[in-house]
Amino acid sequence: MTTIIYRDSFARGNVVRETVPKDERNACAWCGQPARFRYGWDDDSGPRHSHISPKQFCSRSCERSYNEC
């Protein structure tokens, strides 16, 4: 299940967050703490389709830090 957390009208899409099922949770790819979410991109064009990264994170700030490096 994905939730829209940020609408990027300039890029015509949404940043989405998926809650990882409990038995699939790993460590946060950035800080190593228990992760709960995967983040991705949901494009406005065409049928609704989310591109979710397989990496898991504990928070949006960790996901941003990871992708800025």
Positions that interact with Zn ion (CB under 5 A): 28, 30-31, 58, 62
What is the Cα–Cα distance from 38 to 27, expressed in whole angstroms?
12
In angstroms, what is the minimal distance from the CB of 3 to Zn ion? Answer: 18
In angstroms, what is the minimal distance from the CB of 51 to Zn ion? Answer: 21
In angstroms, what is the minimal distance from the CB of 9 to Zn ion? Answer: 28
Under a CB-based contact definition with an 8 Å cutoff, are residues 16 and 42 in contact?
yes
Give me the residue label for tokens 């941003």. 64
**How far is CA 58 from its chain centroid?**
10
Between 16 and 37, CB nearer to Zn ion: 37
